[in-house]
Structure 1
Amino acid sequence: MQTIANAFKEEYRLAMMDPGDAAEERRKQRPGYVAPGPMEEGDGTTAVAVRTQTKSTFAKGWEAIATKTGLTSVFSKLQGLKRTPAYQKTEDALEDLRERWETSENPMVHKIQDSVDGFFQETEQGEAYRAIRARAPTFNINDFLAEVRRDVPKILGAYLKGDVDALAMTNVSNEMMERMSGQMRAWEAEQKFVDPRVLHLGDVELVETRMMEGAPLVVTQFQCQQINCVRDASGVIVEGAEDDIQAVHYLWAMQLVDKELVAADGRKYVAPTWVLREMMLRGMMAVAA
């Protein structure tokens, strides 16, 4: 399933790097990087044939979600904080100084650098945790991750089934609801039906905690196993196979917002609620049989 893996690697690069080439530049700067040479023609049975690859229906759907309606990805915003003109101007001016600082062999320099890095990281995360505690005093990170893990099959299942009503009953943000329902309608119009089963779900891990747009945001990651099988309206498989199991890697960004809820007696009230603000595939690869 190299086609699918390559498609999602490219999607992730575009969404995260905001169509720049920063990721490629960082790769080129790594020690030991060797620029690729020209492709030589081969012959015989050992020759490698290069052909144009097409994205899977699943990949196209996720790419559409990332760009539909012009909404900016949360993950793009996380990266984009360092792309403002003011930041870039300062970054350029201090480039030489930073290089000398980072390559210094002075132990004191390294000690100071570690302290400064830790200070800013703790300050940013600390601000987010204080905001969480203020709005949800009983918050516990382990309980939070367990709750996200319980919600994953519900949200993914509703999305892949094309069940808008079921998806609306889950804790997804208005932005995600709009984008996901739009893609579900597109699949319905094309008469394509994706296998909705989640065969296995791994542990949900914490990636980052920070403030965004005035509300705390928690980024998590996890891996699950799904079936890459797409059928048409008559049930004929048009892509993948029933036994094409893929390990899919996700990033989920959960944000604490005020949401209107309905009590058992029908009374409406507003309470702080964790909603899925953004999700993105980091990649997918075939599971060995």
Structure 2
Amino acid sequence: MFYVVLLAMVAGFLALRLYSVLGKRSGHEQPLPKPAEERVGVVAVPRTIETTTEARETGAKPFDSASEPGLRAIVAAEPQFDVARFLDGAKSAYRMILEAYWRGDESALRDLVSDDVHAAFVEAIEARRGQGQVLDNRLIAIEHATIVSASIAGGEARVAVRFDADIAAVTRDADGNVIGGSTSDAVQTHDVWTFVRTVRASDPNWILADTDEA
């Protein structure tokens, strides 16, 4: 899912590891923003495949046509699922996961991502600390969030969301000096994150199970 951030200033292995786990960035990418206020997760509180506020205001589609059969299958299995509410939760989760990763908050990530994604995040965080680097990123805006695929199998629903966002990316050394990125210019990022959840489970939250480049 995630992903999420390609640490352009970290050599070889770390860069490749992050690319495979966190998705693709265009430009410099390294991070550390403001703390998340509370766990929001990706909460499904839906009923039908409704249009989102963003779609009504901008004309942007909340989901690709290819994802519609999967979304309808999810609705059939769990009538409370609602596309608009899901996308709102997905955008909240995108911000929370990025910010937790940027500030190196492993415990906050634990409840938001799968075990595999968590292990990859932790590996990258530890490597970053070992090099004395601090990520000082800011998520400026999520321009678009669109569901690109959806499916249900074995009682597990999977929904992939493409995020087009602007991020201000800065890397600092242990003394706070900027060693990469810019404090004034935002970088366009394009990720596809896949969220999963067991349908009809008592926990309404979805977790990030995979990240990829868009």
Q: TM-score, normalised by structure 1?
A: 0.49
Identity %, equivalent residues: 20
Taking the TM superposition and a 5 Å limit, the aligned residue runs for 1:163-202 are 163-169=105-111, 171-202=112-143
Taking the TM superposition and a 5 Å limit, the aligned residue runs for 1:118-267 are 126=69, 129-131=72-74, 133-134=76-77, 136-169=78-111, 171-211=112-152, 215-257=156-198
Report how far residue 275 of structure 1 moved: 1.0
CA deviation map 1:136-171 (0-9, x unaligned): 3300111111110122111100011111122224x2
Distance 1:58 1:200 in 2: 25
Task: Give, as a single letter, the amino acid of the residue that structure 1 aligns with 2:116.
Answer: E
Distance 1:250 1:160 in 2: 16
SS of the residue 1:203 aligns to:
strand
Distance 2:166 2:18 in 1: 20
Distance 2:73 2:19 in 1: 30
Distance 1:212 1:130 in 2: 10
Q: Please name the residue that 2:212 is paired with.
A: 280
Describe the shift of the 1:129–1:175 C-alpha distance in structure 2 as closer, same or farther (beyond 3 A).
Answer: farther
Q: Please name the residue that 1:28 is paired with.
A: none
More helix by share: 1
Tell which structure's C-alpha radius of gyration is larger: 1
Distance 1:163 1:243 in 2: 25
Contact 2:165 2:190 in 1 (8 A): yes
Report how far residue 271 of structure 1 moved: 3.2
Contact 1:248 1:281 in 2 (8 A): no
Distance 1:203 1:181 in 2: 28
Distance 2:153 2:75 in 1: 12
Contact 1:218 1:254 in 2 (8 A): yes
From 32, 41, 65, give the equivalent of 2:18.
65
For structure 1, which segment, 140-149 or 206-215, has the greater mean C-alpha deviation from structure 2 after superposition?
206-215
Q: Which runs of 5+ in 2 are unaligned?
A: 23-64
Describe the shift of the 1:216–1:125 C-alpha distance in structure 2 as closer, same or farther (beyond 3 A).
Answer: farther
Report how far residue 125 of structure 1 moved: 5.9
More strand by share: 2
Distance 2:106 2:165 in 1: 22
